Each structure stands twice: as C-alpha cells, then as structure tokens.
C-alpha cells in the first residue's frame, strides 16, 4: 500500500471484503497519525490540530470522515477542509493564527477512481516512505475511542492568497490585473476546478475550459500532465479558442503542464526550461534541482541562461528534500521541479504546488503579451532530442532491489577507462551513461534506474543524432542479455525491433 520512496499511501475502495481502505482501517490510521505526530513534535495529541481535505473521488467524503474520527478520538482538533487541493492542504500548515501542525489529503493522485489514499504532511513536508511504514505499524495495534471536527475553508483562504499574489506579481492593485489574457483550463475533473473561476475573477477569459466539475470520474492516463496524450484535448481547445495558453492540473492540483498558443505542450523538460528562463531573466546564478531523467539539452539551456542544473533522484519528495538541504547550505535554489509536473518553489514554503506555478506562468504570459512577445519564445533555444524512448523492464527476481543492483553493476563495468561509455559526472541515481556520436560530444545518453513505485527497471534514452538510440540499445542489450537472470528483456527487444524498422 505504501510507495516506499514517495509520500503516498493508497489502496482499493471497492466493496468489502476486497476493499483495503475500510472505515475501520482509516479511523485507526487517523488515530495513529495523531499519536505519531505528537511524539514527533514532543507534545500530546490534545495539543494538536490537523487539517483534512479530499479530492473529487466518490469515496473521498467517507474516507475523510473516518480519518477525522480517528484524529478526534485521540483528542486532536480537526479542520475539515472538504473538497480541496493538495497544495491548499499544505498551505494550512503555514496560516498565521490557525495553522495546523499536521495535514492529510485524501487522494490517490493519478490512479483510477477505484483507488484512494493519503498524502500526510508536517511542517517539514511530506512523510517519507519509512515514516509511512512506522505509521502503518502503529495503526495495526491501536484501539480507537470517539470525539470534534470543525470546518476550515482552506480553499477559500488559498484562493485569497493566490489572488493577492497575482496582484503582487503584476505590480497592480486593481480588481482585474489579468484582463486581456485568454487561458483554457483543464482541471481533470479533480478538486482544482476553482482555479478557472479564480482566474476569471482576475480578468482572464476562460472560454473553452473543461473538466472543471469535481466528478471524480477519470482514469490515471487522462490526468497525467507528463503524458502527451493527456494534453491532446487541451491543445485542440487552445488552438480552436485562439487562447494565449492552456493549463492542465492533475486531480489534486499538485502537478501541472502548460500548452502554448500554438497547441504545443510545455511539460517535462520544456516546463523546467520555461521556469528556469522566467527566473533567470530576473536573477542570475540560481540552482535548479530536478529529477534524474532530465535531458542534456535542458542542462545546456540552464547553463547558457546563467544557472546551474542539479539532477537528483526521481520522486518529488526526494527532489524537494534535496532542494531544502542545498538551500540550508546557502545555495540559492528557487524551485525543486520534476519532469512529472511536480514543482515546489522556495518562495511558497517549498510546497509541492502545481497551481502556484501555473499562476506564475500565467502572470509571465500576461507580461510578455503586453510587450508583444509569446510565452514559448522563452524556450525557443531549448535543444530538443532527435530521438527519445522509455522502456520498462520487469525484474523477475523476488529480491528486486538486489537484482537491480546487479544490473547497475553490469552497466557500470562498461565505463572503465578507454571505453566508449562515459559515466555522467552528476550521476545520483541508477546509472546515466553518456555517448559521443558522429563526432559530437556527449550528444546521446541512456539512464537505467529502479522504478520509484514498482519492481521494474526503467530505461530512458535520448539522442541528438539520428540512429543514436539504435546504436545505444544494441550496446546496452549486449550487456544486459549476458548471463541475465534479473530482467524480462522482452520490452527492450520489442523496442529494438521498432528501431531497426
């Protein structure tokens, strides 16, 4: 149930006996969270307040109520935030006067509607996989007595804050500082549909926006800003409406992707490049912490703009924690951002908040429109790969972590001095290998790593020259196939057939 390298605990919500998230289990989890949080903060449960909210899934209200009953049974106060977003729930930990010490968002992120789950937070950020494990162990042994929940309109407070920030960003204390901008919003039928109305109140034309109602009816693929297919409908709508840009939020609004006026998706590496250019235009010598699968072209782009690209491990909690650590050492890190669309800005308490980033981008679009410039012109010089791929190879051994280690060691053995393969100098996860093809320098790469969630080795690769993928995959396959007892190589074999044409 716990993704051990992320902050998400999730399970099925279908009818008993198959359901994992029963009322009884959820109530115990809430009770255990109060006990765990009190111990962490060196206080007692009755001194705590915990905010609880949910996304638009049909099971959300039931699960939220059960979790709140567990908290109140421990004598903790509860702020019932109702239907809201993950960034808003995190903001409840920062409110003056009524700030909670802990927070819970009922969501399964991009998973389908027959799932639900929990994102749990302290003021230090999301719980780690290890902390989630401690919490589950504690929940197994508790007995829950009964008690008091009060309402907190965290969404309303969040909207007020974002609206005030727009006026600050635009340097205009007027009712509609974004008048003249047309933005199409896709809220994925999740809990972030209010974003469109907020933009409208600030002067934005939102004609053509869709999926704003929190129906909770969606599949994981439809709500993933990392997936180009999920952005197709938004791209069409932006072009048909003649809009300035489009914004796609995932179900709980902590991830985002942008579509430019031509319908081109600005997500993954492009989104990171856009954010870097926006910030470096105002202040040089910034460091951008990203996940490990970002492109070589992105690194060059950030360097040319006067910044530093710092790759770290996949998983938004990992990226945010590393950004916090570097910031504490005096390094100027304005944002921790993943290719998945997760983004946490230092000026926003390093809260993982796609809606906040979208607001910054919209303000930038308005500024540039005033000057007769397009938003996407900021990333016109971003080098794009000629070829790219992602392949997921299941690990067939029961001890999948150990098996993954063997695979990584086999690849590393090819990076000895004199070999064509060069280990990337910023390799911090799995193994990233650079190639210099057709007389170029470091113009192709592949990365092999253990999946954040599954017993799977994930292979990402890019080439700036035609045929580079075919060359690298032949070389890699020769290494992986030798004495192979760890991987199901059939997905790679299928991809190689496609590359061979």
Query: Confidence band (pLDDT; 50, 70, 90) for 453?
Result: confident
* Mean pLDDT computed over 123-132: 92
Percent of the chain scored above 70 by pLDDT?
96
Mean pLDDT of all residues in 165-182: 94
Is residue 80 in some structural domain? Answer: yes
Please tell me the least confidently modeled range out of 38-47, 89-98, 400-409.
Answer: 89-98
Q: Are residues 326 and 339 in the same domain?
A: yes
Looking at the structure, do residues 348 and 451 belong to the same domain, yes or no?
Answer: no
264/308 same-domain check: yes
In terms of domains, do 225 and 330 share one? yes
Determine, yes or no, domain membership for 81: yes
Give the structural domain span for 267.
157-379
This prediction's pTM: 0.86
Q: Are residues 221 and 92 in the same domain?
A: no
Say if residue 374 is in the same domain as residue 420.
Answer: no
What CA–CA distance (Å, rounded) separates 282 from 300? 19
Which pLDDT value is given to residue 10? 87
Do residues 397 and 322 share a domain? Answer: no
pLDDT of residue 205 exceeding 80, the answer is yes
Region of residue 306 (phi > 0: left; psi between -120 and 50: alpha; otherwise: beta): left
Which of 357, 379, 401 is the last residue before a domain boundary? 379
For residue 2, what pLDDT is reported?
Answer: 57
Is pLDDT above 50 for 171?
yes
Residue 2 resides in a domain? no
Identify the band that residue 5 occupies on the pLDDT scale cut at 50, 70 and 90: very low
* pLDDT number for residue 220: 58
Report pLDDT for 217: 80
At residue 192 the predicted structure's pLDDT band, cuts being 50, 70 and 90, is very high
Cα angle vertex 293, ends 436, 274, to 5°?
Answer: 100
Q: What is the mean pLDDT of residues 152-168?
A: 96
Max CA distance (Å), the chain: 72
Residue 481 lies in a domain: yes
At residue 328, the 3 state secondary structure works out as helix
The mean predicted confidence, pLDDT, of the chain is 94
Distance (Å, whole) CA 46 – CA 63? 22
User: Looking at the domain assignment, is residue 328 inside a domain?
Assistant: yes
Per-residue confidence (pLDDT) for residue 15, from 0 to 100: 59
Residue 375 lies in a domain: yes
**CATH code assigned at 46:** 3.40.120.10
CB atoms inside a 10 Å sphere around CB 11: 19
Number of domains within the chain: 3
Are 487 and 442 within one domain? yes
- According to DSSP, the residues that pair with 248 across neighbouring strands are 186, 257
Same domain, 374 and 399: no
For residue 40, CA distances in Å to 78, 128, 139, 145, 476 come to: 18, 13, 16, 22, 46
Q: Do the bridges between strand 102-106 and strand 49-54 make them parallel or antiparallel, or are there none, so unpaired? A: parallel
Is the Cα torsion angle 104, 110, 113, 114 positive or negative in sign?
negative
pLDDT category, 222, cuts 50, 70, 90? confident
- 227 pLDDT band (50/70/90 cuts)? confident
Cβ neighbour number for residue 325 with a 10 Å cutoff = 13
What length is written for the chain? 501
Domain termination residue (choose one: 127, 152, 177):
152
Given 310, 345, 379, the domain boundary residue is 379
Query: Who contacts 41 (Cβ-Cβ below 8 Å, separation ≥6)?
Result: 48, 101, 122
Calculate mean pLDDT across residues 14-25: 79
Q: Which two tokens stand for residue 175?
A: 């009712």
Do 277 and 308 fall within a single domain?
Answer: yes
**99 shares a domain with 14:** yes
Token reading at 43 = 């206080």
Does any domain span residue 291?
yes
Nearest C-alpha neighbor of 428 from the set 327, 314, 269, 335 = 314
Confidence of residue 4 (pLDDT cuts 50, 70, 90): very low
Whether 91 is in a domain gets the answer yes
Asked if 126 and 195 sit in the same domain, the reply is no
pLDDT tens digits, 303-323: 999 999 999 999 999 999 999
pLDDT mean over 365-390: 96
User: How much is the average pLDDT of 250-267?
Assistant: 96
Which pLDDT score, from 0 to 100, does residue 407 have?
A: 97
Q: What is the pLDDT of residue 17?
A: 60
CA 197 to chain centre: 24
């Amino acid at each position: 149930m716990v993704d051990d390298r992320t902050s998400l605990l999730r399970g099925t919500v279908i009818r008993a006996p198959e359901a994992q998230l029963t009322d009884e289990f959820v109530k115990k989890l809430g009770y255990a969270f109060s006990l765990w949080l009190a111990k962490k903060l060196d206080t007692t449960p009755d001194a705590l307040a915990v905010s609880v909210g949910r996304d638009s899934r049909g099971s959300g209200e039931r699960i939220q109520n059960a979790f709140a009953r567990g908290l109140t049974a421990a004598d903790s106060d509860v702020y019932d935030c109702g239907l809201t977003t993950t960034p808003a729930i995190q903001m409840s930990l920062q409110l003056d006067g009524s700030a909670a010490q802990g927070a819970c968002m009922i969501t399964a992120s991009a998973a389908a509607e027959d799932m639900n789950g929990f994102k749990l937070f302290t003021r230090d950020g999301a719980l780690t996989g290890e902390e989630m494990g401690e919490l589950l162990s504690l929940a197994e042994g508790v007995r829950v007595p009964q008690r008091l929940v009060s309402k907190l309109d965290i969404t309303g407070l969040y909207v007020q804050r974002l609206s005030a920030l727009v006026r600050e960003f635009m340097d205009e204390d007027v009712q509609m500082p974004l008048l003249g901008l047309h933005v199409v919003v896709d809220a994925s039928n999740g809990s972030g549909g209010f974003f469109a109305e907020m933009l409208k109140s600030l002067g934005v034309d939102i004609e053509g926006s869709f999926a704003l109602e929190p129906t909770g009816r969606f599949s994981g693929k439809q709500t993933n800003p990392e997936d180009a297919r999920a952005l197709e409908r938004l791209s069409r709508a932006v072009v048909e409406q003649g809009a300035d840009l489009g914004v796609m939020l995932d179900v709980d609004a902590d991830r985002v992707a942008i579509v430019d006026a031509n319908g081109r998706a600005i997500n993954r590496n492009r989104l990171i490049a856009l954010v870097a250019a926006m910030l470096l235009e105002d202040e040089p010598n910034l460091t951008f912490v990203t996940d490990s699968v970002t492109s070589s072209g992105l690194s060059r782009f950030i360097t040319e703009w006067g910044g530093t690209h710092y790759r770290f491990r996949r998983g938004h909690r990992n990226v945010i924690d590393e950004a916090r650590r570097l910031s504490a050492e005096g390094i100027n890190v304005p944002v921790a951002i993943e290719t998945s669309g997760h983004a946490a800005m230092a000026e926003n308490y390093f809260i993982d908040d796609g809606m906040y980033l979208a607001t910054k981008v919209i303000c930038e679009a308005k500024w540039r429109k005033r000057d007769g410039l397009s938003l996407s012109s900021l990333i016109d010089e971003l080098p794009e790969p000629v070829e790219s791929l992602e392949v997921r190879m299941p690990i067939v051994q029961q001890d999948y972590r150990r098996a993954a280690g063997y695979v990584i060691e086999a690849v590393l053995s090819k990076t000895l001095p004199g070999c064509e393969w060069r280990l990337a100098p910023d390799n911090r996860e799995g193994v990233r290998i650079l190639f210099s093809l057709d007389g170029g320098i470091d113009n192709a790469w592949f990365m092999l790593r253990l999946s954040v969630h599954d017993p799977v080795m994930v292979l990402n690769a890019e080439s700036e020259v035609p045929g580079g993928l075919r060359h690298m995959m032949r070389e890699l396959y020769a290494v992986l196939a030798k004495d192979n007892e760890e991987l199901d190589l059939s997905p790679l074999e299928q991809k190689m057939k496609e590359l061979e044409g």
